[in-house]
């Protein structure tokens, strides 16, 4: 039995199975689009740097990437921390096929994470919670699987900029205080700030980083 199998649990069925099927089909099709859904990311972008700086030394620690897509952020974290145990979690097997070797893969819904409570040392989600539909439940699940005092990071889009990009029908963007309130139900430390793709470029308000500690 491998490490990941020991921490799997039987989870409840996700909400709205029909909508979930449509979302899964959309991302299965998108997996072939390397331009819009790349399998790599420039490690210099601030999204990456923020996660690396916030989590610190991950050697020997278990980290969950929620809604990982092709695992581009998990790839950078693994390169920086070869001794870390990275789990790339996504809705579709089609996306997970691009996750590099050395990173564990798991498929399912982020509103019903199939992991034991408190089994990860750190958890993050980059532009993925927006697809969860039941945002409250997705945030609750992220907080559930991180250990006490463990850090969580959510990076996603600002509702005040809704309409700036083309979005599918189910996608949700967030007001800054909205996710702060949800995180405070489970975490003792919560903050947020506007960020840019690049550290030397002033944020224009599109992206927000929510930083929490359970």
Segment 9-21 mean pLDDT: 71
Q: Give the domain ranges of the chain.
A: 3-32+43-213
**Residue, of 15 and 32, whose pLDDT is higher:** 32
Rounded to whole angstroms, the Cα distance separating 34 from 123 reads 25
Task: Supply the pTM of this predicted model.
Answer: 0.93
Residue-level pLDDT at 40: 94
Closest CA to 167 of 139, 127, 138: 127
CATH assignment of 3-32+43-213, among 3.40.50.620, 3.40.50.880, 3.40.50.150, 3.80.10.10: 3.40.50.150
pLDDT single digits (tens) 115-162: 999 999 999 999 999 999 999 999 999 999 999 999 999 999 999 999
């Amino acid at each position: 039995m491998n490490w990941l199998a020991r921490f799997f649990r039987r989870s409840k069925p996700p909400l709205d199975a029909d909508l979930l099927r449509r979302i899964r089909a959309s991302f299965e099709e998108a997996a072939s689009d390397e331009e819009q859904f790349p399998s790599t990311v420039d490690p210099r972008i601030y999204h990456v740097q923020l996660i690396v700086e916030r989590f610190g030394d991950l050697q020997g620690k278990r980290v969950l990437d929620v809604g990982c897509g092709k695992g581009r952020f998990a790839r950078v974290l693994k390169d920086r921390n070869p001794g870390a145990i990275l789990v790339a979690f996504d809705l579709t097997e089609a996306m997970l096929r691009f996750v590099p070797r050395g990173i564990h893969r798991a498929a399912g819904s982020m509103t019903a994470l199939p992991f034991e409570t408190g089994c990860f040392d750190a958890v993050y989600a980059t532009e993925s919670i927006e697809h969860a539909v039941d945002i409250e439940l997705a945030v609750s699940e992220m907080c559930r699987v991180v250990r006490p005092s463990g850090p969580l990071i959510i990076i996603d889009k600002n509702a005040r900029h809704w309409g700036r990009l083309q979005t599918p029908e189910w996608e949700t963007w967030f007001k800054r205080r909205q996710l702060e309130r949800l995180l405070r139900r489970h975490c003792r430390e919560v903050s947020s700030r506007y960020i840019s793709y690049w550290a030397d470029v002033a944020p224009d308000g599109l992206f927000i980083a929510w930083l929490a500690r359970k």
